[in-house]
Amino acid sequence: MDLSTQLFEKPRFRPGVAVKADAGRIEIEYRDQGCDIEMSGYAREDVESLMDSLRRGDADMATLRQRHAIDAEELDGILLEFDRLGLLTEGSPMASHGQLTGEAFHFKRLMPTIRSVHARLGDSPLYGRMLSGQVTRNELIGFALEYYHLVHMAPGLISPSISHIGNARIRSELIKLFVEEHNHDKMMIRSLAAVGISEDVLQKRVPLPTTFSAYASLGVYARQHILSFFSALFLFESPSHDFNAVFLDTCRRLGLPEGFYKPIIRHSDINEEGNHDAATQILLSQVPVISEQEQTTILIHITALVEMLHKQDAQIVEYYGREDCDLMRVY
């Protein structure tokens, strides 16, 4: 599918994109990123003319194909690559009929989408194994290990978002969340020490691929797509009372020490006491308008993240459920 024609009526470079075109090559810089794109076979004037059109954002795809002496298929590929790198936005005025306030988007589109994806995916594999009594001691420890990585990274994931914010209420909420999440990893360090895993090991170990993908996605959103970051916080900050109750009972049944499971439950309680599960609603309520295109982008990101977290749960069961699994994962 030609994503460039699906996503944009009139593609335009985002503000801040700097372009230098030369014969056969385009050099692009955006924020702290840069890339080169080869365009061998085209004159410098043709390349510069295309870049100028994308700066103005005044041409639809049909016009771009007619205006520039660049093969249509190659032009589509260039725009697709620009879009993948986050360099393009919509140049035509957006229709107002699809716009929503941040608060309306939260209730009308975001939460129904999350509920729908959860319903499609079903219960987490780990939760199902705890209910059925099949879960192993190592799977519960593995869950805590992967949870540690997310908690440990949380302040570093929140901080980039603060630098982009001018709204005083949003900035205050993000700083509050940052302060309250700071040092929460100490609880997880105590938890894992109770089952013989030292802080030194935790600092060196490699998380599962899906755990890394989850916090890497959050980091990208915090820096490059702040509305997706706001929308994603709910997924990580909402307590699950049913899960916690079954987790507590299972830990006791398998003879895990109180020092292991109490800090995990306490961390969940602190998030609830701090109203962290309302962070998404509070932050989005301060956003006056979200275009239909932005809504779609957010929902794509959040759907992918919900699916990734479900896959992470399955990966915890698959990896830590093996008899020969290496809990330490220090390579």
- 104-163 pLDDT, tens per residue? 999 999 999 999 999 999 989 999 999 999 999 999 999 999 999 999 998 998 998 988
Number of Cβ atoms within 10 Å of the Cβ of 324: 4
> Is residue 12 within 8 Å of residue 54, measured between CB atoms?
yes
Average pLDDT, the chain: 88
pLDDT, position 262: 95
Confidence check: pLDDT of 299 > 80: yes
- φ, ψ for residue 40 (rounded to 5)? -65, 140
Query: Looking at this protein, which amino acid is placed at residue 225?
Result: H
Higher pLDDT, 35 or 105: 105
DSSP class of 98:
G
Confidence check: pLDDT of 2 > 50: no
Question: What integer is the mean pLDDT of 275-282?
Answer: 84
Lowest mean pLDDT among 158-167, 257-266, 286-295, 319-328: 158-167
Domains of the chain: 3-90 (3.90.930.60), 99-320 (1.20.910.10)
* Percent of the chain residues topping a pLDDT of 70: 94
> Is residue 181 within 8 Å of residue 152, measured between CB atoms?
no
Question: What integer is the mean pLDDT of 254-282?
Answer: 87
pTM of the prediction? 0.70
